[in-house]
């Protein structure tokens, strides 16, 4: 069995009751990772708006206004999203201030109203060149055309721009530029800022230049919301976990093998006869020979000098951890490159732009609009899938440190006399660490885990957009999707790479003394705990040290095991040297 480290192998060697409790805790962890971060979420507000192209004299007295044509277009485009009623129908809200304000602007009156702001073409293009317009609404584009016998109406065109359109900014580009495929997110803004004319296309196919704008100012309507269904699922999962832990505490009365000290204490009290006579055994010997019933008699201990920490971790754990971390890092890097290309960003030159978008902020730029979700649960599952993957990766990462630190603790037992660190200490013993490993390592590991989970939640997250109609009466449509933050993804990648390098660097530390490398293998620990006959009772509860104790009973060969301080005198000085790795002995 594996001692002191999470292991699926151990699951098949425990009682059915404990196995069921373990499964209950494990299964309820999956929904928590998939749902917990989205129990509370924010929603971004966006607006549908009327886009009206008018002549330069639309707001002047004496302009050629065809009211019949104006209101024919207005009635059709301003239908209520719920009832389908058009402007002027019975039951349609025509007494609204916003409605009357827009109608007055449409007729060319009240051009100086404070609800509408005069904008330059550059400023207007900058405010409306986005997928979701949240603090602006209805817009009048003032062209350089003047009403005359050719244009006998100051109203050139009237349309509604919907916030849930796939290309909501296509109206900003002339047809000649749009059809060529050369228009990108910031092209119009950049061209107009440099003094180039801003051209738009009329319904007749003619291109006119925009000389100014009148834009309606409106308040944003962002919300903080929570999902009742997700909250209930989270509460139920936590309740199952709490019950499982309470049952474990109340019903568990058996000795536990949680730490290395627990195993040593148990094997010193009740020796395991199957490992007798192989005190030289290390983890590799157990796996390669002992488990197969091969040569298990006494043999010479092949001393190899003081080993590195990484030797206490099996190759399977190293390969598993590094392989899955590498796959996750490569996949994330590829997706990041794709999103940077899609957003027109460069990793070297646009760091400031990515930083300005922030961590986990819902904005119109960084939304996954290529995938359409029918409801919130679908987007929640995709947004939190990385959290589940990260938890699995961190379990494998944490197991590396647990194994290395267990090996370090084992080596200390060959360097000097130590009290055993056990779960339920008796007199002469010390209690285990609250976080299983020394706080010097446990606190940084916990901090790393929390930081990675937080950065991941800011890298990809639930994004909900509520689109209001052109007068703000009702929600015309709702978009459930996933948002992402490129700068947060970069931080996650950097931190994961540094974490792997830190684990590799830790593995190059040297153990305190030359001693068998048992890792977390219970059989190897057992083999090292066979004391010499009557000495067993005097060892328990004392400071112990592992090394050469002379000839074993009825064996004719020297023996390696644990002894207390009082049993080591000057006659064992040479054996101290052996324990430090400076000699050889036939065992």
pLDDT in tens, 104-161: 787 776 666 778 889 998 899 888 888 788 888 899 999 887 766 555 677 888 888 8
pLDDT for 336 equals 87
pLDDT for 496 equals 92
Q: Is 3 within a domain?
A: no
Cβ atoms < 10 Å from Cβ of 436:
19
Closest CA to 283 of 515, 577, 545: 515
Task: Give the position of tokens 């400031």.
Answer: 352
Does pLDDT of 46 surpass 60?
yes
pLDDT for 577 equals 35
pLDDT for 378 equals 80
Q: What average pLDDT score do residues 303-312 get?
A: 79
- Quick one: three-class SS letters along 112-128? CCCCEEEECHHHHHHHH
CA distances in angstroms from 271 to 4, 536, 555, listed in the order given: 19, 9, 17
CA distance 468 to 164: 10
Starting at the edge strand that comes first in sequence, how are the strands of the sheet with 40-47 ordered? 223-226, 40-47, 460-468, 475-484
Are both 343 and 455 inside the same structural domain? yes
pLDDT for 238 equals 93
Q: Is 409 within a domain?
A: no
CA angle 452, 453, 455 (to 5 degrees): 65
How sure is the predictor about 185, in pLDDT bands with cuts at 50, 70 and 90? low
CA dihedral 483, 488, 494, 497 (to 10 degrees): -40
Of 467, 484, 512, the position where a domain reaches its end is 512
DSSP state of 570: G
> Which phi and psi angles does 41 have, rounded to 5°?
-150, 165
Whether this prediction's pTM lies above 0.85 is answered by no
How sure is the predictor about 580, in pLDDT bands with cuts at 50, 70 and 90? very low
Task: Give the position of tokens 């990385």.
Answer: 386
The two three-digit tokens of residue 75, written as one number:
């009635």
DSSP state of 2: B
Cβ atoms < 10 Å from Cβ of 176:
11
Q: Is 419 within a domain?
A: no
Are both 231 and 191 inside the same structural domain? no
Are both 77 and 195 inside the same structural domain? yes
Of 512, 533, 548, the position where a domain reaches its end is 512
Are both 138 and 70 inside the same structural domain? yes
Are both 508 and 522 inside the same structural domain? no
Contact by Cβ (8 Å): 549, 27: no
Does pLDDT of 445 surpass 50?
yes
DSSP state of 19: H
Lowest mean pLDDT among 250-254, 352-356, 368-372, 483-487: 368-372
CA distance 69 to 36: 54
Are both 161 and 310 inside the same structural domain? no
Q: How far is CA 475 from the centre of its chain?
A: 31
Q: Is 480 within a domain?
A: yes
Does pLDDT of 464 surpass 50?
yes
DSSP state of 300: -
Cβ atoms < 10 Å from Cβ of 582:
12
Closest CA to 572 of 428, 421, 417: 417
More confident residue, 212 or 59: 212
pLDDT for 34 equals 84
Question: For the chain, first and last CA: distance in Å?
Answer: 26
CA distance 294 to 284: 13
Closest CA to 117 of 100, 98, 140, 133: 140
CA distance 277 to 288: 17
Mean pLDDT of the chain: 79
Are both 585 and 572 inside the same structural domain? yes
Q: For the chain, how are helix, strand and coil distributed in percent, rounded to 5?
A: 45, 15, 40
SS3 state of residue 313: coil
Lowest mean pLDDT among 31-35, 201-205, 377-381: 201-205
How sure is the predictor about 330, in pLDDT bands with cuts at 50, 70 and 90? very high
Closest CA to 464 of 565, 351, 363, 386: 363
Are both 347 and 494 inside the same structural domain? yes
- Taking each helix axis as running N to C, give the angle between helix 315-343 and helix 376-412, from 0 to 180 degrees, rounded to the nearest 10: 140
Please report, rounded to a whole number, the percentage of residues in the chain having pLDDT higher than 70. Answer: 81
CA distance 462 to 482: 5
Q: Is 360 within a domain?
A: yes
Are both 367 and 478 inside the same structural domain? yes
Are both 332 and 460 inside the same structural domain? yes
Closest CA to 416 of 261, 578, 565, 585: 565
Of 223, 240, 269, the position where a domain reaches its end is 223
Q: How far is CA 479 from the centre of its chain?
A: 23
How large is the C-alpha radius of gyration of the chain? Answer: 37
Q: Is 207 exposed, middle or buried (0-12, 13-18, 19+ CB in 10 A)?
A: middle
How sure is the predictor about 575, in pLDDT bands with cuts at 50, 70 and 90? very low
Are both 177 and 121 inside the same structural domain? yes
The alpha carbon dihedral of 396, 400, 402, 407 has a sign of positive
Domain count, the chain: 4
CA distances in angstroms from 59 to 111, 141, 216, 540, listed in the order given: 6, 12, 15, 98
More confident residue, 297 or 52: 52
Q: Is 412 within a domain?
A: no
Q: Is 15 exposed, middle or buried (0-12, 13-18, 19+ CB in 10 A)?
A: exposed
Q: Is 482 exposed, middle or buried (0-12, 13-18, 19+ CB in 10 A)?
A: buried
Contact by Cβ (8 Å): 451, 460: no
More confident residue, 257 or 373: 257
Q: Is 4 within a domain?
A: no
Domain that holds residue 146: 44-223
- Quick one: three-class SS letters along 368-414? CCCCCCCCHHHHHHHHHHHHHHHHHHHHHHHHHHHHHHHHHHHHHCC
Q: What average pLDDT score do residues 387-398 get?
A: 89
Are both 159 and 95 inside the same structural domain? yes
DSSP H helices, 36-66, are none
CA distances in angstroms from 80 to 45, 471, 496, 518, listed in the order given: 19, 10, 51, 75
**Contacts of 368 by beta carbon, 8 Å cutoff, 6+ apart:** 463, 481, 482, 483, 484
Determine the length of the chain: 587
Question: HSE on the CB side for 388, CA within 13 Å?
Answer: 17
Q: Is 179 within a domain?
A: yes
Q: Produce one character per residue of 515-549: b if its CB has 16 or more CB atoms within 10 Å, e if not.
A: bbbbbbbbbbbbbbbbbbeebbeebbbbbbbbbbb
CA distance 472 to 48: 9
The two three-digit tokens of residue 357, written as one number:
């978008």
How sure is the predictor about 548, in pLDDT bands with cuts at 50, 70 and 90? confident
CA distance 225 to 174: 40
């Amino acid at each position: 069995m594996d001692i002191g480290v999470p292991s699926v192998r151990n699951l098949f060697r425990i009682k059915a009751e404990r196995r069921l409790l373990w499964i209950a805790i494990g299964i309820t962890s999956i929904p928590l990772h998939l749902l917990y971060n989205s129990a509370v979420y924010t929603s971004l507000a966006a607006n549908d708006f009327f886009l009206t192209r008018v002549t330069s004299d639309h707001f002047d007295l004496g302009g050629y206004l065809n009211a019949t044509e104006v209101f024919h277009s207005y009635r059709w485009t301003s239908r209520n999203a719920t009832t389908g009623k058009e402007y002027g129908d019975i039951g349609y809200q025509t007494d609204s201030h916003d409605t009357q304000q827009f109608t007055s602007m449409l007729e060319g009156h009240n051009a100086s109203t404070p609800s509408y702001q005069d904008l330059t073409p550059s400023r207007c293009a900058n405010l409306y060149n986005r997928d979701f317009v949240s603090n602006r609404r209805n817009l009048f584009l003032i062209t350089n055309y003047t009403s005359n016998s050719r244009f006998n109406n100051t109203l050139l065109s009237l349309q509604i721009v919907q916030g849930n359109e796939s290309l909501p900014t296509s109206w900003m580009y002339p047809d000649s530029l749009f059809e060529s495929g050369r228009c990108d997110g910031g092209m119009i803004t950049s061209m107009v800022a440099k003094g180039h004319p801003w051209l738009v296309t009329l319904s007749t196919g003619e291109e006119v230049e925009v000389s100014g704008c009148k834009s309606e100012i409106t308040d944003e309507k962002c919300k903080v919301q929570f999902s009742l269904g997700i909250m209930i699922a989270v509460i139920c999962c936590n309740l199952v976990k709490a019950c499982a832990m309470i049952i474990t505490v109340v019903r568990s009365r058996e000795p536990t093998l949680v730490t290395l000290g627990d195993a040593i204490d148990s094997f010193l009290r009740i020796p395991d006869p199957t490992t007798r006579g192989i005190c030289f055994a290390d983890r590799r010997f157990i796996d390669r020979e002992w488990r197969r019933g091969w040569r298990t008699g006494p043999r010479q201990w092949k001393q190899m000098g003081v080993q590195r920490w990484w030797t206490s971790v099996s190759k399977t754990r190293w390969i598993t951890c590094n392989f899955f971390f590498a796959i996750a890092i490569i996949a994330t890097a590829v997706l990041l490159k794709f999103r940077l290309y899609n957003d027109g960003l460069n990793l070297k030159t646009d760091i400031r732009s990515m930083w300005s978008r922030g961590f986990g902020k819902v904005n119109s730029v960084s939304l996954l609009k290529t995938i359409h979700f029918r409801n919130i649960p679908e987007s929640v599952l995709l947004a939190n899938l990385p959290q589940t993957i990260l938890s699995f990766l961190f379990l494998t990462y944490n197991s590396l440190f647990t194994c290395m630190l267990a090996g370090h603790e084992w080596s200390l037992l060959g360097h000097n006399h130590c009290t055993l660190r056990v779960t339920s200490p008796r007199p002469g013993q010390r209690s285990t660490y609250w976080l299983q490993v020394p706080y010097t390592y446990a606190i940084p590991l916990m901090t790393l885990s929390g930081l990675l989970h937080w950065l991941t939640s800011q890298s990809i997250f639930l994004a909900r957009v509520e689109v209001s109609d052109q007068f703000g009466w009702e929600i015309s449509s709702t978009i459930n999707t996933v948002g992402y933050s490129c700068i947060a993804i970069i931080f996650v990648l950097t931190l994961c790479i540094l974490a792997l390098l830190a684990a590799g660097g830790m593995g190059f530390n040297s153990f305190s003394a030359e001693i068998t490398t048992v890792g977390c293998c219970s059989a190897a620990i057992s083999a090292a705990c066979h004391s010499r006959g009557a000495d067993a009772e005097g060892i328990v509860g004392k400071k112990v040290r592992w090394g050469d104790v002379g000839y074993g009973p009825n064996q004719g060969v020297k023996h390696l095991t644990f002894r207390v301080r009082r049993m080591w005198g000057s006659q064992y000085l040479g054996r101290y040297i052996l324990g430090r790795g400076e000699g050889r002995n036939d065992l």
